[in-house]
Structure 1
Amino acid sequence: MAFQYQQLAQQLAQKIYSGELAAGQRLYALRQFSQQHQISLNTAKRCYELLEAKGLIYVKEKSGYFVQSSKKAQQIAVPNHPDFDSRPREISNLELQIQIHEASANSRLIHLGSIQLSPNFVPVEAIRRSIQRALKHCKPEDFLYNNRQGHPQLREALSAHWAEDGFYMPKDDIYISNGCMPALSVMLQNLSAEGESVIVPTPNYNGQLQLLALLKRKIVEIPANTEGFDLDRLEQAMRDSGAKVCLLTANFQNPLGFCLSNEDKERIAQLAEKYQCYVIEDDIYAECSFNAKRPLPIKYWDRAGYVIYCASISKSLSPSYRVGWFCLPPHLQHLRPKLLLQNDSVNTPLQLGLADLIFSRAYRQHLAELRPKLMVQVEQYRQYIYDAFQGVDIRLNRPQGSYALWLQMPEQIDSLALYYHAQKHGINIVPGLIFGEDNRYNNCIRLNAGHELSTEIQQAILLLADWVRKECINSNTV
């Protein structure tokens, strides 16, 4: 678990990044700050010293502590997003989707595209110890074919973990899967049929769109932006489109990074009940919050059982640790036999190791250490990208959690051409046109900020910026 001064520094840093604490604003004096938070004077001093070391605040002799000016952060505009009609559509670009997905697994490329954590953020020793303890204390039956619903110890551990975060899920409602995408696939196949429509906000995670295309589902797109998506349009689609299912991410959506308010999440749960339209909630990024506490899911406000909660640990722990889950509401328990047949068994030692990691609190300690690192690192990326693209009219999201960056470039820039140029130089990015239909986002790319901003990655960003700058010059619209 992070020390108290680190948690307080993280909270203040988030307020500085969000603009809630303005540049030049004076902070509480150390004694006032310690009294306000009921901490020692030494803890308050260490908090301010940490923020000062990160360049977020500065001290004036005999005057106190002040928020550091960051003109660059103020100048980075957020992307704008088009409006469009919401109607059932076929998903195009499936071959391109698959090609880009395969490129994301190429270890020889510089990974600026696939959203994944640096291996240096993975608590390898803690995982090793948990798996060793799990194997030491496992029972003989753990080496037989396991329960397709998932090992009871892991389901109990997840239930207790979420309860500590403020929402309760009975362990008997939890089904363990081989990651989040298999969980989404199983639920989509059981709640919708081929040719039917699924409501999604766009720009939307290209992996979800690829899955829907492979399952031969259509989509009804809802306009989204860096603040969220239009709930009135969502209601209209639930009412008029004939769709029985929505696929939504409320917490740090990929690629925009927004986190919906509790009021919006509650309204979505109410709309799902009103129109009997199931919401499959992909909450894979929630534990990568920049705040000390993770946000609640839509599922928290679900009273009628129309929200199916899905997630995994691939974004918060490791993309190679293929353990995810879906949670089945009581009134869908009639699907249980079919779901158990469709749900592939998950490696038992991995399940037991994760259960130990949670019960030993090593996972929670990992999250406490990860969140402030991610917050600082994402802001470093944003500042570096802004500098690299100096002279080019770019817009960049400011995520509230996770580590996906959405970069919008001048309209004449072809993100697919940039993608192929980057690949020739060993760089993997994801072009914006595959995050929705009608080439709406063709002047956008998604970038991964989950790896440390190394010299290699800095050079890759500079190469992208140089190409874009030359394209702008060639069209005389810098």
Structure 2
Amino acid sequence: MTLYESLAQRFIDDIVCERLPIGARLPALRQLAQQQGVSVTTAGKAYDYLADRGWIYARPQAGYFVANRSQITEFPALSSHSLTPRDPSRFAPVQGYNSGLTGFAPLGTSLLAPALLPEVDLARTIKRVTRRASQSMFSYPESQGLESLRQALSEHFRENHFAFNAEELVITNSCLDSVRIALECLTEPQDAIAVCSPCFSGLLDLLTTLKRQIIEIPVTHEGIDLHALETCFAGQKVSAALLSTTHVNPLGITLPTQQKQAIAALASKYKMPIIEDDVYFELSHQKEKPLPAKYWDTDGYILWCSSISKVLAPGLRLGWCLPGRYFDKFYGHHSYTSMGVNSLVQACIAEFILCGDYRNHINKVRPILQSQVHLYRQFLAEHLPSSAQISAPQGGLVLWLRIPGVDTNQLADEARKAGVDIRRGSCFSTHPDYNDCLRINCGWPLYLKVERDSAQMQLQGLCELVQSLKGSDS
């Protein structure tokens, strides 16, 4: 055991024995180094070791704190799944799977608060790019996307140990747009698609619009049901799979590396196209970012889709896809159904990446987001009934909650009347197994100064509604 691991183990022992309670503040790095007679580097490695394993978390400009490590072991999975295709339009909520409130609704849509976005740096980049914009930037854009942006993205992800050539990439209007193009060029109406269960509500709305059927593959805190997935592939029950593998929305889990490798192997074995929705790839709560399943895709059957929407600015509407062996089909369909993506937006994002501001923003926002998720979990644990279960996500922006005895369809209706936006469990499946679950966004800071329109007030109002519903049932 190394010196930093030995130091970290002492903290783990103190946390397990509750000598260090949840929320306790730990010594600053220099103070710890002096106390233990080690270097600041060793102290930093010990804290990194603890944070990567979920024992502690950092609050920017505040220090390190003991995390709530309670893990959910019994989130509901599909109670029975016959692997029979289902038409999502038949089971959609009245207002669709992904409907939300307009106005201030911090708990509903998964996104970062404006205060966490690099508005000044981005505005400076836009001004710089527009000042030197050439006439070609105001012509119809290249169908594949600006070469400068594709090259910038290639270099950016290469630094994350995920290498690909700029020529392999196609720029689109969003991650969801990439998924749409992939579905349209590889499948037909009424084809069945294998999806995660629970499944992001926006994907269910898209599949409904495209008239695709779905087969839900159970996903729990342990990962995806690979046996069910292979059964679908082997029996030719599906024409494609649409899966998330990193910081899966709504559960927040990341599939183990072995499962990602297995997914890539199954795609090759059965020659099955797999569309990988990886929009939260950059938002890991750990120091090391996990790799997508696409990394192990040696035969090109995985189409990797992502965007800047969750990390930078959803309003800019820019995404991309690595279509692999389906490049010609994907690029052709994209060219026929779109005149490309706004050239000025592409040029600005390319510049933002190449000048280093994009990576600086990601490195800054990740620990902030990790801290916010811990604060949300702590707040919910204190204000919800003791039977409530709260996910412990490894990344992303959302929490998945289960409140036994509460119908979250009724809860969402009551919350809507109070101006509180959440996503009810029935928005994530065609099955009734998640009707006591809900999803909330953690992208808005819980400010210490409680204002009328704040995420904390909305969260407080949600907890009061839950308590009232639980009380009416008792």
| TM-score normalised to structure 2 length | 0.85
Cα contact 1:117–1:319 (8 A) shared by 2:
no
Tell me, yes or no, if structure 1 residue 396 matches structure 2 residue 371.
no
Counterpart for residue 151 of structure 2: 156
Counterpart for residue 274 of structure 2: 279
Shift of 1:187: 0.5
CA distance 1:334–1:396, shift in 2 (3 Å): closer
Counterpart for residue 429 of structure 1: 422
**After superposition, where does 1:401-412 map in structure 2 within 5 Å?**
401-410=395-404, 412=405
Tell me, yes or no, if structure 1 residue 208 matches structure 2 residue 203.
yes
Alignment deviations for residues 340-392 of structure 1 (CA, whole Å, 9 cap, x no partner): 11234211111100000100010000000000000000000000011111x44
Counterpart for residue 406 of structure 2: 413
CA distance 1:334–1:222, shift in 2 (3 Å): closer
Counterpart for residue 471 of structure 1: 469
Alignment deviations for residues 383-442 of structure 1 (CA, whole Å, 9 cap, x no partner): 0011111x44100100001111101011x3111111111111111111101201221111
SS of 1:420 mapped into structure 2 = helix
For 1:83, the aligned partner's letter is S
Measure, in 2, the Cα distance between the counterparts of 1:450 and 1:426.
Answer: 18
Which range moved further: 322-331 or 459-468? Answer: 459-468
Shift of 1:153: 0.8
CA distance 1:335–1:76, shift in 2 (3 Å): closer
Cα contact 1:176–1:323 (8 A) shared by 2:
yes
2:235 to 236, 240, 244: 240
Counterpart for residue 265 of structure 2: 270
Q: Which runs of 5+ in 2 are unaligned?
A: 21-25, 27-31, 46-55
Shift of 1:131: 1.5
2:75 to 79, 87, 97: 79
Alignment deviations for residues 299-357 of structure 1 (CA, whole Å, 9 cap, x no partner): 11111110001010100112212100112224542553333112342111111000001
For 2:393, the aligned partner's letter is P
Counterpart for residue 4 of structure 1: none
SS of 1:292 mapped into structure 2 = coil
Shift of 1:103: 2.5
Measure, in 2, the Cα distance between the counterparts of 1:22 and 1:250.
Answer: 34
**After superposition, where does 1:67-466 map in structure 2 within 5 Å?**
68=66, 73-74=69-70, 79-85=75-81, 86-92=83-89, 96=93, 98-99=95-96, 101-104=98-101, 106-107=102-103, 109-330=104-325, 332-389=327-384, 391-410=385-404, 412-454=405-447, 455=450, 456-466=454-464
Measure, in 2, the Cα distance between the counterparts of 1:179 and 1:348.
Answer: 14
For 2:414, the aligned partner's letter is H
Alignment deviations for residues 180-217 of structure 1 (CA, whole Å, 9 cap, x no partner): 11110010011111111000110110000110111000
Measure, in 2, the Cα distance between the counterparts of 1:460 and 1:16.
Answer: 35
Measure, in 2, the Cα distance between the counterparts of 1:190 and 1:49.
Answer: 44
SS of 1:211 mapped into structure 2 = helix
SS of 1:88 mapped into structure 2 = coil
CA distance 1:256–1:289, shift in 2 (3 Å): same
SS of 1:89 mapped into structure 2 = coil
Measure, in 1, the Cα distance between the counterparts of 2:63 and 2:42.
Answer: 23
For 2:433, the aligned partner's letter is R
For 1:345, the aligned partner's letter is G
Cα contact 1:244–1:276 (8 A) shared by 2:
no
Cα contact 2:181–2:333 (8 A) shared by 1:
no
Measure, in 1, the Cα distance between the counterparts of 2:159 and 2:16.
Answer: 29
CA distance 1:130–1:20, shift in 2 (3 Å): farther
For 2:314, the aligned partner's letter is P
CA distance 1:152–1:377, shift in 2 (3 Å): same
Measure, in 2, the Cα distance between the counterparts of 1:76 and 1:293.
Answer: 23
Q: Which runs of 5+ in 1 are unaligned?
A: 1-7, 40-47, 58-67
Cα contact 1:78–1:398 (8 A) shared by 2:
no
Alignment deviations for residues 245-265 of structure 1 (CA, whole Å, 9 cap, x no partner): 111111101000011122211
Alignment deviations for residues 263-300 of structure 1 (CA, whole Å, 9 cap, x no partner): 21111101000011111011100101112332211111
Alignment deviations for residues 138-191 of structure 1 (CA, whole Å, 9 cap, x no partner): 332222111121111111111111111111121112111111111100100111
Q: Report percent identity of matched pairs.
A: 30
For 2:312, the aligned partner's letter is L
Q: CA RMSD in A?
A: 2.9
CA distance 1:354–1:78, shift in 2 (3 Å): farther
Measure, in 1, the Cα distance between the counterparts of 2:419 and 2:375.
Answer: 22
Shift of 1:240: 1.7
Shift of 1:35: 5.8
CA distance 1:387–1:185, shift in 2 (3 Å): same
For 1:429, the aligned partner's letter is I
SS of 2:401 mapped into structure 1 = strand
For 2:79, the aligned partner's letter is D
SS of 1:219 mapped into structure 2 = strand
SS of 1:287 mapped into structure 2 = coil
SS of 2:276 mapped into structure 1 = strand
CA distance 1:172–1:464, shift in 2 (3 Å): same
